[in-house]
Amino acid sequence: MSPELQKVLSPTRLAGLELRNRVIKTATFEGMCPGGMPSDDLIRHHAGIARGGAGLTTVAYCGVSPDGLTFPDQMWLHEGVRNQLERLSAAVHAEGGALSAQLAHCGGFSRNRPRHIPRPRGPSVAVNQYGLLSGIPLTGAMGPADLRKTVAEYAAAATFAKEVGFDALEIHMGHGYLLSQFISPLINQRRDDYGGSLENRMRLPLEVLAAVRQAVGKDMPILAKLNLSDGCAGGLEIGEACQAAQLLERAGLDAIVMSGGLVSRSTMFLFRGDSPLPYMLPLEKNPLQRTAMKLFGPATMPSLPYRELYFLELARQMRQAVKLPLVYLGGVSSAQGMAQAMGEGFDFVAMGRALLNDSALLQRVAEQGEAWQSPCTHCNQCVASMNLPGGVRCTLNQPDAFARVVH
């Protein structure tokens, strides 16, 4: 076994947290919070990832407020979910793993009707593409009071996550959700101190980071998921992404999970492989939304060729720009890919689809060394399966998962 692969499998530390290896289960939305309540399926899912050996498993989309959800079947962090999350953290810890919460807010990208306000709010007035055909066509612009409230909500959510047993936090600054909306020059059209220059567009993300750090202290690791590129014309590109990373490093962030793409415009820039659209359409309950997906989905969600380590060229540029730990995400599907990520100077590898296919893949790597290759075909049916009863699963393991809805 190469030294680089041995490094992947060896214990390490992330800020004040001891991890048994350098593999992180990335935040992939589970679809296991019906009505916003964490289910026993969610507990079993992450406990299974921990049992399989991953060092850190990340619970996806932990909303910081009820107004920050893209749709009702997402969780937000409040007292009503305390018991289930305490059970979740205990289950992961019992398997020897560590647990991270992805703190998120949808901003102006939502099909959820916010409480007490007429429409979702983001950096600028815009068309709400996600809610357009659900009776929520517009996004409002956040005012000073909205910004202060949102920063406080992130801090409160972080405090709660620490109380219920999470070991680390990932602040979602990518994929076109609220903080990504502020960072992206395509979406942020403000003319005040929160828009224009990159320093201004990073103001809210940096305020959130400072508030979260104050809430949880210096020993709890705080990561951020940050786009290397928005993957569409006019969006964030790698040059400014590296400058954003430098600002986060100076502000005391512990690690960056490098990603890319906007859910609303360039979804497959993140996933690569086959489009899941044919499997998503039968599961869409809103007939208008389903029609729109048929008309516009092929343009926004086209199949893109998959290749291993598909973000490597962009990630190398960020590695040159900062010294803080970087988590390589994007097409890690073999032991050789893991080893190469270490050899390129990255500190951790994040995996999604491969771990959905086989939560015990690290045991295979330990047995097979560089010969291990994930069976994942990058069909991306798992993306659509988030909307099936019971949530996300690898359809290679359940080939009849879509039988009743597709055929």
Q: State the catalytic residue, choosing from 61, 130, 177, 310.
A: 177
Mean pLDDT for 319-348 is: 98
Neighbours of 218 (CB within 10 A): 12
Amino acid at 265: R
Share of the chain above pLDDT 90, in %: 83
Q: Evaluate if residue 135 carries a pLDDT over 80.
A: no
Confidence at residue 119, expressed as pLDDT on a 0 to 100 scale? 76
Tell how far CA 257 is from the center of its chain.
9
- Annotation says 177 is catalytic: yes
Confidence at residue 21, expressed as pLDDT on a 0 to 100 scale? 98
Question: How far is residue 312's CA from residue 327's CA, in Å, rounded to a whole number?
Answer: 11
The burial class, CB within 10 Å (0-12 / 13-18 / 19+), for 398 is middle
pLDDT in tens, 351-401: 999 999 999 999 999 999 999 999 999 999 999 999 899 999 999 999 888
CATH class of 3-272+307-376: alpha beta
pLDDT in tens, 145-201: 999 999 999 999 999 999 999 999 999 999 999 999 999 999 999 999 999 999 999
Mean pLDDT for 103-132 is: 82
The first and second tokens of residue 4, run together, are: 């680089």
